[in-house]
Structure 1
Amino acid sequence: MFRNILVPTDGSPLATMAVDAAIAFAKEAGAKITVLTVTEPFHFFSTDVEQLGSTREEYEALSREHAAETLAAAQAKAERAGVACTAGQLRNHEVYRAIIDKAEEIGADLIVMASHGRGGVGALIIGSVTAKVLTHSTIPVLVYRKK
């Protein structure tokens, strides 16, 4: 049923668990995966701790390096599991939109991603990329939550 799965990740522990679950699911289904990181561009006015302590150049270099490490780790896990895997990095102000656009571009029939499950004011202040993908995507989304 699912043959082409997009797996967005930010490299966090929960997102890494979602990548692992997606690899296991893809192996069982005989599917291939595309692992994706989306980084927001540097903002002069930000509440993101990584951006507050960095110059634009430092932030850009660190975010590219973190994404590359995250993607390499995911690709190595997929290879060990015998799952075909491609990877990509994007930079976009609207992370959720970049995820949906990439899923459509590659013809994904499933998106697998993590959710921290923040509710209430936390979700309103921080926002939820997963919630936005769920709201705007026409492609099915499998949400991995911490057990």
Structure 2
Amino acid sequence: MFQRILVPTDGSDITVKAVNMAVQLAKAHGAQLLTLSVMEPFPYSAVSEIQPVPPQEFIDAQQRVASQRVQAVVEAAAAQGLACKGHTVEALHAWEAILDHAKAEGADLIVMASHGRRGVAALLLGSETQKVLTHAELPVLVVK
């Protein structure tokens, strides 16, 4: 049924559940597994020169963390005998990057974690998963 499954990762504990679900689904359907970690862009401003962290140091740290997150998913898939194609991308809005990547890679399912925030916390923090659900043109499986 599914041919290409995308599982975004932010490195959180709840994401591990989504990764495990995506790996099992990929095995069951003989699907290709894809993973993505979205990096935040450097917060440039008029006073960037006095930022506590130089831009390149910030960018390098973001890339290192994103690569580690992707590598963890690739290794989890490999432990189950699956190959996994991993990417990192810089984007202001993670949900847009996830949907753009899903489209570019021809994914037919996105498996995402939800932190399950409610009330004011959900309003203030927003939800990348909710935004993906709202804007996706393909099925999204939410794992809690």
TM-score by length of 1: 0.88
Following the alignment from structure 1 to structure 2, what is the Cα–Cα distance between the partners of residues 80 and 28?
Answer: 15
The corresponding residue for 1:134 is 133
Match of 1:116, SS?
A: coil
RMSD of Structure 2 on Structure 1 (CA):
1.6
Following the alignment from structure 1 to structure 2, what is the Cα–Cα distance between the partners of residues 69 and 86?
Answer: 14
Amino acid of the structure 2 residue aligned with 1:17: K
The corresponding residue for 1:17 is 17
- Shift, 1:15, TM fit: 0.9
Structure (1 or 2) with the larger CA radius of gyration: 2
Q: Is the 8 A contact 2:40 2:62 kept in 1?
A: no
Q: Is the 8 A contact 1:18 1:114 kept in 2?
A: yes
Corresponding residue pairs, total: 139
Q: Is the 8 A contact 2:3 2:108 kept in 1?
A: yes
Structure 1 segments of 4 or more deviating over 3 A?
A: 52-55
Following the alignment from structure 2 to structure 1, what is the Cα–Cα distance between the partners of residues 54 and 117?
Answer: 30
Gap runs ≥5 in structure 2 = 46-50
Q: 1:34 to 1:53 in 2, by over 3 A?
A: farther
Match of 1:62, SS?
A: helix
Q: Is the 8 A contact 1:31 1:83 kept in 2?
A: no
Following the alignment from structure 1 to structure 2, what is the Cα–Cα distance between the partners of residues 27 and 55?
Answer: 43
The corresponding residue for 1:81 is 80
Match of 1:11, SS?
A: coil
- Shift, 1:22, TM fit: 0.9
Q: 1:80 to 1:15 in 2, by over 3 A?
A: same
TM-score by length of 2: 0.89
